[in-house]
Structures are given as structure tokens and as C-alpha cells.
């Protein structure tokens, strides 16, 4: 028996210790953050009540640039939400297609549709922030719900589900936006990344550590927007109207999460690698402006994931037999935990489930994100 343990070098024991530390960090991330959403979905959402006429009004704000086709396809599903008191404000952000004509047509059909526009020649880096600010200023109601022109609510109760989350302490409500599914490798990668990121930012918010939201499906109060300074401090960035605003202003006390199938929004995903990488570049360049505490928490997961995989590979390739088996066992346990958490959430949200290929996405995405982060400065300069 002594010979069994003595056959392992000091370097081997160090590799085992590093592997165990990385494994514990990964299990902590999945148990304390990622698993919170499927747990909430399993319990169901408490407190859902039938709508009555005396409810607070809601202003839905959509910023649209050259979105005529998407507005034709998706705007009616927003305008026809099952909620007694709401308006939809569409901001025409310098469109050169038929957006204006489509909006005029729908204004004649729907009394709850209002429109405004970003003035031509406005010299701002982020016309979307200006457009959203104009829409917010024009809003009649204090509760603001945001989505995009290429988004379709999952159900007529989307607006009600998001609005019900507000109480006296709540200023920000975070929802989940997902993408339509197609049978391509890129689409599966986008779907996996969207689900992973959604479980992470919603789970962290549920654990009292909110750090971002997505403009496809989030809400906050008009008064809170102006009291917190709006988009001040981020006007020099092309993006960040959603995640940076949340990162700057969300706390464990003022933020709530809505996770249920009828509160999703569905969007059109990028169809080419070039467009997908450009989109990721914009998002990741903004993430460099997150708070220090958010950066530390977000870096811990991919770093421990990298260390875990490298340690596993090292032990499998160089260790003695029992060390190889030990590394393989931990690899399988982590993979099963990951599959269980991701697929439980996917099943309960009505999304595509993932098979063994999930491990490939798990390895590829951090490398792609690292590459894009290193190029983040180039994206800012290009803008």
C-alpha cells in the first residue's frame, strides 16, 4: 500500500490538488448559480394572479433601425398582449427602409402604439441610447419594459409576467431572451451560449449578485432611470444600454428575476460566422467596463474550467493508472452535472436539449471569448 502512494511524484500530487480545487470551483458555480433557474422552474412561480383592471400601466419601448420586415412580423404580438393598461413606443432610429410606413399603418390599427424618432444628423456614438432615452422620456408610465424589433414574446402573458415582478422595492426586472432554433452547427453554438449565459446572469441575480441583463427582455422604472443618471458614463460606448446599465445600478435589494416559459422573448439569431463574431465583439468590448467585483466573479468560472481541463488532460496523459481513472471520473461527474443542469432548464423552457457535443461547446466558447476580448480594443477603435 505504501508503494502505491509513494509511486506518485510530488508533481503528480500537485496536479491532483489543482484538479480537485478546479473541480470544487466548477461544482460551486453550477450548484450556487447555474442550477437556481431550473430549480425555480421546477417549483413554478408563486404569486401569479389573474389580471384585474386596476393595474399599474406599462410602457413597452422598442428601438428600430431598418426593421420594417421584423416590425410587420413581430410588432402585433407585442401590441396584443393580455394586459389591461399599456402602450408600445417604437423609436425610429434613422431607418432608410419602410419602417416609417409600417409604423404609420400600425398606428392606424392600434390605439396603444406611439412612435417617435431619433433626429437625423444627431452626432452621437450610440444612437440607440439616444433613441431609448427619447422613448423613456415620452413614456406615460413609470414601469418600462424593453425588447427589440426582431423579438416575439413567447405568449400573450409576457408583459403581465414581467410587470407582476415589480413591488415597492423592485426597480429592475431581468428576463430571458432566447433565439429561434435551426439545424446548423452555428445555431446550436449560439443556442448553447445563450442558455449558459442566461442561467449564469439570472442565477447570479437570484443569488443577490446581479451583473447584467439583455435588452431583448428586461424592465426598470422610469423614475429609477433618471435618478440613477440614465446612460451617463457609458455614452462613449457603442453598446451597453442593457448590461452596463444593470451592472452599474442593480443590487440584491432592487432586482428581481422572471424565469418562466411564457415570459421569454424569441429572437432571430445570426446566420453567418462573420455577423456572429461581430456581435460578440460588441458585447465583449462592453464587458471590460463591468465593475471589478463582477469581472472577478465572471473570470472565476472560465479560469477554473480551463484549469480543470488542463489538469485532467495532464493526469490522463502522464499519471499512473489510478490517477488516470480518478481524472476520468471527475471529468464524467462534471459533464453529467453540466448536462443535468443545462438540459433541465432547456426542457422546462421549451428549448433544445444538448447531448455529448456540449463538451465541445464548453471548450470552444472560452477560447473564442478570450480571442474576442483580446480584440476588444480593435472593435472600440473601429466604432
Q: How far is CA 76 from CA 79, 97, 109, 110, in A?
A: 5, 19, 10, 9
Give the global pTM.
Answer: 0.89
Query: Which stretches in the chain have pLDDT values below 50?
Result: 1-5, 379-383
Closest Cα partner for 160 from 255, 48, 259, 37?
A: 48
> Is 176 in contact with 202 (CB distance < 8 Å)?
yes
- Cβ neighbours of residue 269 under 8 Å, at least 6 residues apart? 179, 180, 182, 187, 190, 191, 276
According to the model, what pLDDT value does residue 50 have? 52
According to the model, what pLDDT value does residue 241 have? 84
According to the model, what pLDDT value does residue 232 have? 85
Closest Cα partner for 212 from 253, 158, 255?
A: 255
> Phi and psi (nearest 5°) for 113?
-100, 130
According to the model, what pLDDT value does residue 46 have? 52
According to the model, what pLDDT value does residue 265 have? 97
Strands (E), the chain: 58-64, 86-92, 113-117, 143-148, 151-153, 172-174, 177-179, 218-221, 255-257, 265-267
CA atoms within 13 A on the CB side of 10: 0
Amino acid at each position: 500500500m505504501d508503494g502505491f502512494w509513494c509511486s506518485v511524484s510530488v508533481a503528480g500530487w500537485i496536479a491532483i490538488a489543482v484538479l480537485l480545487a478546479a473541480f470544487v470551483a466548477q461544482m460551486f458555480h453550477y450548484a450556487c448559480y447555474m442550477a437556481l433557474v431550473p430549480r425555480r422552474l421546477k417549483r413554478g412561480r408563486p404569486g401569479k394572479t389573474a389580471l384585474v383592471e386596476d393595474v399599474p400601466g406599462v410602457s413597452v419601448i422598442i428601438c428600430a433601425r431598418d426593421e420594417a420586415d421584423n416590425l410587420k412580423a413581430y410588432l402585433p404580438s407585442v401590441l396584443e398582449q393580455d394586459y389591461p393598461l399599456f402602450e408600445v413606443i417604437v423609436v425610429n432610429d434613422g431607418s432608410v427602409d419602410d419602417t416609417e410606413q409600417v409604423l404609420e399603418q400600425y398606428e392606424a390599427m392600434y390605439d396603444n402604439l406611439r412612435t417617435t424618432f431619433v433626429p437625423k444628423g444627431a452626432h452621437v456614438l450610440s444612437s440607440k441610447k439616444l433613441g431609448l432615452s427619447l422613448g423613456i422620456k415620452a413614456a406615460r408610465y413609470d414601469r418600462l419594459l424593453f425588447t427589440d424589433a426582431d423579438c416575439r414574446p413567447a405568449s400573450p402573458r409576457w408583459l403581465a409576467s414581467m410587470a407582476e415582478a415589480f413591488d415597492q422595492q423592485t426597480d429592475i426586472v431581468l428576463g430571458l431572451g432566447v433565439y429561434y432554433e435551426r439545424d446548423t452547427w452555428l445555431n446550436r453554438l449560439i443556442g448553447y451560449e445563450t442558455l449558459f449565459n442566461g442561467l449564469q446572469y439570472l442565477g447570479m441575480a437570484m443569488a443577490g449578485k446581479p451583473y447584467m441583463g439583455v435588452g431583448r427582455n428586461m424592465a426598470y422604472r422610469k423614475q429609477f432611470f433618471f435618478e440613477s443618471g440614465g446612460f451617463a458614463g457609458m455614452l462613449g460606448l457603442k453598446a451597453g444600454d442593457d448590461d452596463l446599465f444593470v451592472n452599474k445600478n442593480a443590487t440584491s435589494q432592487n432586482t428581481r428575476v422572471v424565469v418562466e416559459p411564457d415570459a421569454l422573448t424569441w429572437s432571430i439569431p445570426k446566420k453567418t460566422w462573420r455577423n456572429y463574431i461581430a456581435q460578440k465583439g460588441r458585447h465583449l468590448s462592453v464587458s471590460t467596463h463591468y465593475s471589478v467585483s463582477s469581472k472577478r466573479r465572471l473570470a472565476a468560472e472560465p479560469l477554473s474550467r480551463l484549469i480543470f481541463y488542463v489538469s485532467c488532460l495532464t493526469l490522463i496523459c502522464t499519471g499512473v493508472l489510478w490517477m488516470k481513472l480518478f481524472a476520468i471520473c471527475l471529468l464524467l461527474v462534471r459533464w453529467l452535472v453540466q448536462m443535468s443542469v443545462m438540459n433541465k432548464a432547456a426542457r422546462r423552457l421549451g428549448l433544445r436539449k444538448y447531448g455529448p457535443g456540449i463538451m465541445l461547446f464548453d471548450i470552444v466558447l472560452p477560447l473564442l471569448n478570450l480571442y474576442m476580448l483580446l480584440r476588444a480594443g480593435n472593435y472600440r477603435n473601429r466604432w
